[in-house]
């Protein structure tokens, strides 16, 4: 089950579309959907989590807490709407283009994809693009 939670004024339009897209992406990667919670928040909210749980005193766009067990994908994905807006501006794209990339990024981490090395980041970006294409179909 995929749930969307809001700690800010933002609300996702067409939750069902995104839920189906994420579910299909998980199945396509050979995994099973468990409980995935998306929590949309602001910079302050996510910064607190970053400091408290990861000891990182920086702003970030997404933090994922992984509760996966084997092939069952579960976790909490916190997304700062403010960071996504700023990232979109920096990348010269719209917020509506950047948000799904960040959303699928967290799920891809649960599926075993990494992004610390250049090669891993390239593979992660390729997967993100693949699933973003699926979303607009």
State the binding site.
105, 109, 115
Give CA–CA dist 19/33, Å, rounded. Answer: 11
Known binding positions for Zn(2+): 105, 109, 115
Task: Determine contact, residues 74/108, Cβ cutoff 8 Å.
Answer: no
Between strands 62-66 and 32-41, the pairing is unpaired
Where is 38: in which H helix or E strand? strand 32-41
Cα separation, 114 vs 89, in Å, equals 25
* Site of tokens 């799904």: 100
């Amino acid at each position: 089950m995929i749930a969307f939670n809001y700690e800010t004024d933002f609300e996702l339009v067409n939750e069902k579309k995104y839920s189906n897209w994420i579910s299909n992406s998980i199945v396509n990667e050979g995994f099973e959907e468990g409980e995935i919670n998306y929590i949309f928040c602001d910079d302050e909210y996510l910064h607190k989590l970053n400091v408290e749980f990861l000891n990182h005193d920086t702003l970030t766009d997404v933090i994922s807490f992984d509760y996966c067990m084997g092939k069952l994908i579960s976790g909490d994905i916190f997304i700062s709407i403010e960071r996504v807006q700023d990232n979109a501006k920096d990348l010269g794209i719209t917020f509506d283009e950047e948000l799904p990339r960040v959303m699928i990024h967290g799920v891809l981490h649960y599926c075993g994809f990494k992004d610390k090395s250049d090669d891993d980041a390239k593979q992660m970006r390729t997967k993100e693009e693949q699933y973003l294409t699926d979303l607009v179909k």
